[in-house]
Structure 1
């Protein structure tokens, strides 16, 4: 009998020892339960701290105020808030001047400038080979001398004829013919001079010159290259080195931007900002993107590279608006909103339009007068129509 009892106890012990998986599951379940309890306690403590005790607003008579959840509220009033609009865009030369071949073209003999160089108005950028044109100029110059010699001879013959006409040796008709000959010779001189001038002008146009002083942005030609009127731009010059930001703005923001407003421009990858001024606002809106363009003029700086990307903050003035902490403003698929507490201490949703967002808070452009009791935080735990115990936030 005792032997059987001992055998049974030994079997029970072995069964318990062997079932380790069951014991592990029990331990994991116990750990999870403890973790959930701790998390619930932490959430309760956080909620209590967010809606912590402050100056209480008395609840209407007849309600169990002590049993209602306490909610911290603020009455923002109105204050002056700086308004600014953020935009992004591409840097470019304010006046980007493409320079091409003005004459008949030819083979490039020399290129005299490189990108990044400053040039003066009329400075030669490249020279086209001109040996044939030089010979034509010399030929036309010789034609001018021949025409002048003919004109001198015609004048001398006219002078002799006029001296003899009084003696009756030459008729007046002969004198008139010599006058016509003299005038024709002078006209040929003028024609030859005009042809020479045109040839010299064509030779002069073989020098590719800067149309204005500025910064060379691009060079698209090399010595030995044959160029002509259809070769396109051989050089690009930023007039005066002036730059600009082509800022893209939403249609609603573009309405607030005016010529003369200042802006702070920061190129991507740079910590340095540059002060500019809006000098032109686009009169049209892109029908695809619903955006317009504001052009911000900038003085030259080596950090401003055309084609680069930059951001801009445009100062559009100040407004009187309620200023709320960021924790008071919420958003969903319907837009931005806040919760306010009405006269019956009930939660009411109020849709708002958000203005400037800064370290001081969120400016409310529309939707609030500033006299409402706005839930400062914990709005995610509330629902419209819920009764609460409003607690005025302590003044800072």
Structure 2
């Protein structure tokens, strides 16, 4: 095959390829264009969110009790420490931890041997002083008679008067010493100053105790109170008689309390004010248990809403309101926090009206404008 024939065949093949390409392009341009899937989805209606009464809370005027959190330890109003008034060997100590005692009950005693000897010594010294008084009185009587007869001078009589007075003073001192010895002997008997329950035994029989040594601790469990510290700003609005509800460790039910007094001075360093709350008797309530709760500072009539319905995941607090057939985000201004029927609530100062229905915060995030409808609960 010569060169001219090869060239002609190549031209024919290239022409055929060009013709086929043009036919394919023409078919593609004649085919109808399919609409994008995203535009079809956007045109579809958003389904309405079905809500029940339990999914909504209502903003309403209510008595809002402003509260303040507090915590502290339970303690007894009356606590007494039985101390040794004299030094000596503790011979007997009866009650143990948990035993009940009465006011004036003998709970123990200290060895009296030494004190009995001191009483005996003091009594004998008093007898000797009394004998000296008798001698001085007889001498004074004799000197008075001698002065009257002119046998001695008045100066000698003055000396006898002074000696008699000194003897009488010595007798009084000896009698006082004897009384002190008897008192020390009586102080060897240990008595409980109050009625209550023994919480600690701080000494054991056989030990030698010093003066004012702690022997027993007695607490009166019939009157218990909570000591708590409050910031000075909140304590300024607190008054005696305010009520509180406390949770005490180890007790299943809350314990009611009432403010009975406030400390007139603040604590050094923290500037906190100590508040004392009287506790209602409850089974299992003991000294030293830790308690926490809230105390009512003041009560006001205000538009309030459960605190859980206010959402804080934005720059400003807001709520989701059921507005007709849609859920709308609405920014609100909040005020004081407190309790409404024991539910933690917050005052709404702007953004809501009485009767607005609010979506609970537990239902999660909802887009603004989401359609919604209220349906009846299934029975």
Judge same fold: TM > 0.5, yes or no: yes
Q: Which runs of 5+ in 1 are unaligned?
A: 1-43, 53-71
2:64 pairs, out of 78, 81, 102, with 81
Structure 2 equivalent of residue 140 of structure 1: 122
Query: Secondary structure at 2:206's aligned position in 1?
Result: coil
Structure 2 equivalent of residue 280 of structure 1: 261
Alignment of 1:342-357 (within 5 A): 347-353=329-335, 355-356=337-338
8 Å Cα contact 1:76-1:324 kept in structure 2: yes
1:189 pairs, out of 148, 171, 179, with 171
Query: Secondary structure at 1:160's aligned position in 2?
Result: helix
* Structure having the higher Rg: 2
Structure 2 equivalent of residue 376 of structure 1: 359
Shift of the alpha carbon at 1:272? 4.9
2:142 pairs, out of 160, 164, 172, with 160
> 2:341, 2:258 → 1: CA distance?
25
Q: Which runs of 5+ in 2 are unaligned?
A: 1-45
Structure 2 equivalent of residue 303 of structure 1: 284
Alignment of 1:196-211 (within 5 A): 196-211=178-193
What do residues 120-179 of structure 1 show as CA deviations (whole Å, max 9, x unaligned)? 444443211121221121011101011101101211222233234333344333322222
1:111 pairs, out of 93, 106, 110, with 93
> 2:170, 2:243 → 1: CA distance?
64
Structure 2 equivalent of residue 48 of structure 1: 49
Alignment of 1:263-342 (within 5 A): 263-281=244-262, 283-284=265-266, 293-298=274-279, 303-324=284-305, 328-332=309-313, 336-339=317-320
Bigger drift between 247-256 and 180-189 goes to: 247-256
Query: Secondary structure at 1:216's aligned position in 2?
Result: strand
Shift of the alpha carbon at 1:334? 5.7
What do residues 285-322 of structure 1 show as CA deviations (whole Å, max 9, x unaligned)? 6867x976432123666632111133445344532122
2:216 pairs, out of 199, 214, 235, with 235
> 1:364, 1:182 → 2: CA distance?
88
The structure-2 alpha-carbon separation of the partners of 1:216 and 1:374, relative to structure 1 and needing over 3 Å to count, comes to: same
> 2:352, 2:375 → 1: CA distance?
15
> 1:170, 1:252 → 2: CA distance?
87
The structure-2 alpha-carbon separation of the partners of 1:122 and 1:337, relative to structure 1 and needing over 3 Å to count, comes to: farther
> 2:336, 2:372 → 1: CA distance?
24
Shift of the alpha carbon at 1:277? 2.2
8 Å Cα contact 1:219-1:235 kept in structure 2: yes
> 1:161, 1:325 → 2: CA distance?
103
Query: Secondary structure at 1:338's aligned position in 2?
Result: strand
TM-score, structure 2 as length reference: 0.68
Shift of the alpha carbon at 1:51? 8.7
Q: CA RMSD in A?
A: 4.1
- What is the aligned residue count? 323
